[in-house]
Each structure stands twice: as C-alpha cells, then as structure tokens.
Amino acid sequence: MTDDDALAERLAELEAIPVWDTRKLSKEMGGPRAVAHVWRWDLLRPEFSAAIKTKLAGPGTERRVILLHNPGLPKSYAAATHTLNGALQMILPGEIAPAHRHSYAALRFVLEGSGAFTVVNGVRVDMDPFDLLLTPAMFWHSHTHVGTEPMVWFDGLDTPFVTYMQADAFELHDSRSLEPHNESAREAHDFGNTGMLAGRQRTMSANSPQLIYKWSVARVSIERAISAGSIDPFDGAVFEYVNPHTGGHVMPTMACYAQGFASGFHSLARRRTSSSVCVVVKGRGATIIDGKRYEWTEKDVIAEPASAWCEYVAYEPSMMFRLSDQPLLEPFGLLRVEDHPDGRQSS
Ligand code: GTQ
Ligand code: FE2
C-alpha cells in the first residue's frame, strides 16, 4: 500500500476525503446528467385513450398525468431535464382535478381541446389551445372541465430543483374545487396581454400577476417579426413572456418564450448553461443537439440539456413554446452563453 493509499484509508475512517480523490468524484457530484430527447405526441397521445379505460380513470384519479422521463436520468427523477419536469395531462368533460397547492411552481401549455378552466389564487382562468397558464408556487389551484371533448395540456414544473433544495411541500384543500373569490387579483390579471396593467395596486411579486398569456397574441407577435425580418440568428423570431410589473421572467424559477421560424430557416448554434423543454405548436423541423439531429413535429416535446449545442432547422413554417430554467442561474452569475466558433455544428 502506498503512503497515499494509507492516508486515504485513515481519512475515510474519519469520514474525510483527500482533495486529490475528489477529481474522480466530481463527475458524479452534480448528479446524473440529462440527455437530449424528443417525446412524440403521435405515440403518446393514444396512450391516454387506453388510460381512460384503466385504473387511471377511477374516482380520485382525475389527475391523468403522464410524466416525461429523460432517459439520461434515473426513473425516480421522472424529470425532463435535471431541473424541470414535463408532463402531459388529460382532463375529461365533467371532471374536477381536486384543489391543492405546492411549493413547486407550475405552468400549463394547452395542446388540445377547450372548455376547461383552472382557478388559481382565487381567479378563474379559461384555457384555449396553446395558451400559457401560470400556477405560481403555493397558489391554490383546481381544474374543472365544463366542455364536451377531452382536453390535454403540457405541464411544466420546477419539481426537480425544488426537491433538490429539499423545499418540497404539498397540501390538499378542504374543498374539492375552488370558487373564484379574489377580486383584486382578478383585476390585476384581467384585461392583460396589452402591456397595460389593470388594478389599483402594484405588487412587486416575483410572480407575474397575469395568470394567462393568450396564444393569439404570441402568434401575431411571431408572424409580425417574421414578416418584418426581425429574426435572431440563434432563436428565430423569439419573444419572452414577461411579468408586466417587473419586465422580468414570469416566475422566479422558470422563464417562458415563444419562438417562430420561417420555412427553410436554419439557425446558428449556441449553448447555454440553462436547460430547456420545448413544445412544438406548429410545423415540422429538427433541433440539432450536440451534433445529432432530433426531428420534431406538432405537439412533440424536446429536452435540451444544460450546456448542449443547439441549432434549429425548420422544414415548414414552425412555432414552439420554450420553458427554461434560466432564472435559476442568473442570480448567481451562472448563466453562460457561448456561440459556436464555426457558426453551425457539423452534422
Ligand atoms: O395539475 O396541478 O403534472 O400539481 C404535476 C403536479 C400537474 C397540477 C402535474 C401537479 C399538477
Ligand atoms: Fe398542482
């Protein structure tokens, strides 16, 4: 046994580690690493029809949620990236998803159907396809479907991050569904989407008072930018959903964007220390991630891991929604953005 090994052994008995050994450990230290992945809508959507008929459809299981699991992470994470959760949720006509709240921030991005509403923070918010709805941390919420067709939406949550921080909390409400009651929150939130704030008081909350962002508005912004040629070489026609009080991200842990690409658009490549989950609204194309081409079409979900080179190719006019963990990195100076030295990846 070398002197080094003997020292390491004695230190191990004292629950101490010599620093020269941590070089071996440091790869494992940040936990498992997520990989690039596409979850295909055409393959997952039919499984809901099957799930309606199975035990998933029993009383109390109205929350019909299929979690998207990143194959680079252990199944127990059930996460889309190391910080973000992605899921598809179906609600059937007449169903109520029981009222609760949690320390996870959540958002919905509607994929199919209409006629459901959610009550968040005492405000009723109705949902149409491709609308973005916010459920900030610890806000009570319940979902009710009064329409005639099944509804499906994408759920985005910061669960892996909150759980890592061991700050997870979940509470069921005494009543099954919530009645709208919060008039001042409703005022602050209603009549939004215009850059103008309603309501008498300005609350400088880190959460946007606007609880819904209509797709009709995002779509028009993208279309205008594309026809005006106002195109970012990395992200196409890109808009951030913002908190109208602060101009900042919509929630303290998650940022949301809408992006559009003209047919034939091929972006330059860039990598960021943030990770993203993208949901395709319309079109067909591919994201080249670390040199590999991941093809996508409508309602597919794509994971972009932290620090992966990303580049977009649109085969048709395309639009997507992006959820990013960028706000988690910014306060600590950890957001780094690097443009590819060759412009594009070779693939
Ligand atoms: O709809 O409130 O996908 O609480 C995970 C946790 C959805 C929800 C999820 C949740 C919800
Ligand atoms: Fe929830």
347/345 Cα distance (integer angstroms): 6
Determine the pLDDT at residue 192.
55
- Say if ligand 1 is within 6 A of residue 65 CB: yes
Q: Whose CA is closest to 82, among 329, 320, 341, 288?
A: 329
Proportion of the chain above pLDDT 70, given as a percent:
90
How many CA atoms are closer than 13 Å to the CA of 73, on its beta-carbon side?
24
For ligand 2, the distance from its centroid to the CA atom of residue 125, given in whole angstroms, is 15
- pLDDT average, residue stretch 233-237: 98
The dihedrals phi and psi of 55, each to the nearest 5 degrees, come to -60, -20
pLDDT score of 195 more than 80: no
pLDDT score of 239 more than 60: yes
- Say if ligand 1 is within 6 A of residue 89 CB: yes
- Say if ligand 1 is within 6 A of residue 62 CB: no
Please give the number of the atom of ligand 1 that sits closest to the Cα of 63.
1
E-assigned strand segments in 127-200 = 132-135, 141-145, 151-157, 170-172
5-34 pLDDT tens trace:
899 899 999 999 888 766 666 667 778 899
Single-letter amino acid code for the residue at 218: A
Average pLDDT along the chain? 91
Residue predicted with more confidence, 306 or 78: 306
Distance from CA of residue 142 to its chain's centroid? 19
- pLDDT average, residue stretch 37-54: 88
Most confidently modeled range among 60-64, 93-97, 188-192: 93-97
108/110 Cα distance (integer angstroms): 6
- pLDDT average, residue stretch 29-44: 93
pLDDT score of 66 more than 80: yes
Q: Quick one: pLDDT band at residue 274, thresholds 50, 70, 90?
A: very high
Q: Whose CA is closest to 337, among 311, 307, 313, 312?
A: 307
Determine the pLDDT at residue 290.
98
The best mutation among 88, 89, 277 to test binding of ligand 1, ranked by most ligand atoms within 8 Å of the C-beta, falls on: 89
pLDDT score of 193 more than 60: no
pLDDT score of 44 more than 60: yes
DSSP structural state of residue 249: B
Please give the number of the atom of ligand 1 that sits closest to the Cα of 170.
4
DSSP structural state of residue 236: B
Determine the pLDDT at residue 55.
54
Q: Quick one: pLDDT band at residue 115, thresholds 50, 70, 90?
A: very high
Total-model pTM: 0.94
Q: Quick one: pLDDT band at residue 98, thresholds 50, 70, 90?
A: confident
Determine the pLDDT at residue 62.
55
pLDDT score of 137 more than 80: yes
